[in-house]
Amino acid sequence: MLGEIAQGVPSHVSADLAAKPQLSTVEFRERMSGNICRCGAYSNIVEAISEVAGVKA
């Protein structure tokens, strides 16, 4: 998922497909929402993703 964001791949709900994806909790949650497991929406998972991405959750 972070690789997709780094490459500029838009998410399924991106309003502007030409805009660079944002490193935000909203973006992380949207990208994780398609996972089979619901744990992608848990706050500690988003916090871990944010930490790896180098942004504040």
Per-residue DSSP letter, 28: H
Q: What is the pLDDT of residue 35?
A: 66
- Can you say whether the dihedral through the CA atoms of 50, 52, 53, 55 is positive or negative? positive
| pLDDT single digits (tens) 3-45 | 888 888 888 777 788 888 888 888 888 888 766 677 766 788 8
Prediction pTM value: 0.65
pLDDT at residue 54 greater than cutoff 80 = yes
- Asked if residue 46 lies in contact with residue 23, where contact means CB atoms within 8 angstroms, the answer is no
